[in-house]
Chains A and B, each alone.
Chain A
Amino acid sequence: MSKKPEQRFDVLVVGGGPAGIAASASAAECGLRVGIVDDNPDLGGQIWRGESSAHAPEAAQWVERLRAARVQVCSGMRVFHHLEPHTLLAEGPDLCQLRYQKLILATGARERFLPFPGWTLPNVMGAGGLQALVKSGLPIAGKRVVVAGSGPLLLAVAAYLRGHGAEIPIICEQASRASLARFGLALLGQPAKVKQGFSLRRDLSGIPYVANCWPTAALGRRTLESVVISRASGTEEIPCDYLACGFHLIPNTELAALLGCSIHQGYVKVDNFQQTSVSGVFCAGEPTSIGGLDLSLVEGQIAGLAAAGRGEDAKKLFGKRHRLQKFARLLDRTFALRAELRSLPLAETIVCRCEDVTHGRVNQYRSWRAAKLHTRCGMGPCQGRVCGPATQFLFDWIPDSVRPPIFPARLENLAAIESNPELQHTELTGAI
């Protein structure tokens, strides 16, 4: 067979969000040959997706630094396999081997979705999910959007959608009023965050932000027509065009796990220099803790400098990181999920959306593995990325070990691995 395209880097960064951009720029400014690979059409990750430089000057500055330092950008390429030490396989229009000396994982986070009756209806989306679609061109002006779930992302999304002309009748936050109040007080120690909070509040004026409140059902025939919410005063049905619903964030740790990096309580374990338990593999941003933009940028810089052997420069950023890590721990505590959310799904409510496995069927088994084997829960193309965290919350199940390919890959690309004697033989499932 023909030889596959191959790229060689001193430092390869996986993930084109703030952590990855900061890491690649920092490493490349030390004179190294650096590549950054991301499966989106453009750099920026979720938070900077589709932002013009006027709206996000910080994003524009970082991307400019990255380009000035001649980082090679591989967009639209998804890493799906770790072939052998120092080599990843990525799939875009074509298959590509990415070889590296040092690797920095900046794979970000995704929203946590929880099942409730009607959550599979079209126009029930993640909060970040709907925002991403609007950033990609979906007109939202004049649409009525209920924002619900948990976490600070709900506020940012509501402000964004309203800024684009949506009507937001309510923001439902499942956390208690007491924990939100503690969060507000604790933020006084974080001036930048308080400023962010105040400017958001202005964008959100007049929208009720209701604590102890969550969706119990989405109703509609072929698509969403209304949402039923539970709040202190009872239940209420709200007609709407969209439900933007996510329950805070969970880190994307699949690639780290595949590489053998230690994972502790759901997060990738790193040392002071952002190095994982695997020598030469670093990790920055949300996979190490859900701490938001500022922490991601600092961790990215530390990882980039450390990967380039500039440990002394990296050390100068430790203090800033320490302050921001306090904020990450606070987020985890404030937006911890309440037990009532476990009883939202009915027996017929779908838990695994890829394979349409209901709560009633999954509930007959005692472990993730048993449920997978008997019901195909988690065996579809998302590979349990949606139902895995949901069942972890619903049943305290622990996810399985990760096997390649970590994303569904095209059959011809999997076949290319199998038929190439240079590449190690490996068991592969998950072709599409």
Chain B
Amino acid sequence: MPDQVALTVNGRQMAVPPGSTVAVAVALANAACRRSVTGEPRGPLCGMGICFECRVAINGRLHCRSCQILCESGMEVTTDE
């Protein structure tokens, strides 16, 4: 298994340990996950896939709950920032 998984968050190259969720990569990139309907920055709340605050786009697919999905090599993650 590789030491690190390489992916991008908003175009920025990131390396995270294998087994990290996408929410972790987003936090390490100092990015908020999404903008609320009135434009507030939001990040994870429940950490278990219930609150939907940690939604991001992964490889172009919208509304993925970043706390439930493991980072994969070459993933392109985009937040609302």
Q: Chain B, interface size: which category? A: 20 to 34
Whether A353 contacts B24 by the Cβ 8 Å rule is no
CB contacts under 8 Å to B, within A15-48, are: 39-41, 46
Whether A353 contacts B51 by the Cβ 8 Å rule is yes
Contacts of A41 in B (CB 8 A): 68-70
Contacts of A138 in B (CB 8 A): 23-24, 27-28
A223 contacts partner chain B, Cβ-Cβ < 8 Å: yes
Whether A133 contacts B24 by the Cβ 8 Å rule is yes
Whether A356 contacts B46 by the Cβ 8 Å rule is no
Whether A137 contacts B47 by the Cβ 8 Å rule is no
A113 contacts partner chain B, Cβ-Cβ < 8 Å: yes
Q: How far is the CA of A41 from the CA of B63 in the complex (A)?
A: 17
Q: Pick the interface stretch among A95-103, A121-129, A299-307, A367-375.
A: A121-129
A344 contacts partner chain B, Cβ-Cβ < 8 Å: no
Whether A129 contacts B44 by the Cβ 8 Å rule is yes
Q: How far is the CA of A381 from the CA of B40 in the complex (A)?
A: 17
Whether B47 contacts A386 by the Cβ 8 Å rule is no
Q: How many residues in A have their beta carbons less than 8 Å from beta carbons of B?
A: 40
A110 contacts partner chain B, Cβ-Cβ < 8 Å: yes
Q: Assuming the A-B contacts A222-B41, A223-B41, are A132 and B36 also in contact, with contact meaning beta carbons closer than 8 angstroms in the complex?
A: no
Contacts of B27 in A (CB 8 A): 133, 138
Q: How far is the CA of A39 from the CA of B50 in the complex (A)?
A: 11
Q: How far is the CA of A17 from the CA of B50 in the complex (A)?
A: 15
CB-contact partner of A128 in B37, B47, B70, under 8 A: B47
Contacts of A54 in B (CB 8 A): none
- Mark contacts of A117-144 with chain B using CB atoms, 8 A cut-off: 1 yes-contact digit, 0 otherwise: 0001011111011111100111100000
Q: How far is the CA of A41 from the CA of B24 in the complex (A)?
A: 15
CB distance from B24 to the nearest CB of A (A): 4
Contacts of A133 in B (CB 8 A): 21, 23-24, 27, 44, 47, 67
CB contacts under 8 Å to A, within B43-65, are: 43-53, 55, 62-63
Q: How far is the CA of A27 from the CA of B64 in the complex (A)?
A: 34
Contacts of B41 in A (CB 8 A): 122, 222-223
A173 contacts partner chain B, Cβ-Cβ < 8 Å: no
B7 contacts partner chain A, Cβ-Cβ < 8 Å: no
Chain A contacts to B: CB under 8 angstroms: 39-41, 46, 50, 76, 78, 110-111, 113, 120, 122-126, 128-133, 136-139, 222-223, 350, 353-356, 380-382, 385-386, 408, 432
Chain B contacts to A: CB under 8 angstroms: 16-17, 19-21, 23-24, 27-28, 32, 36-38, 40-53, 55, 62-63, 67-70
- Nearest 4 A/B pairs, CB to CB: A137-B20, A132-B47, A122-B43, A129-B47
Contact sample, A vs B, 7 pairs, CB 8 Å cutoff: A40-B68, A133-B44, A222-B41, A353-B45, A353-B51, A386-B45, A408-B52
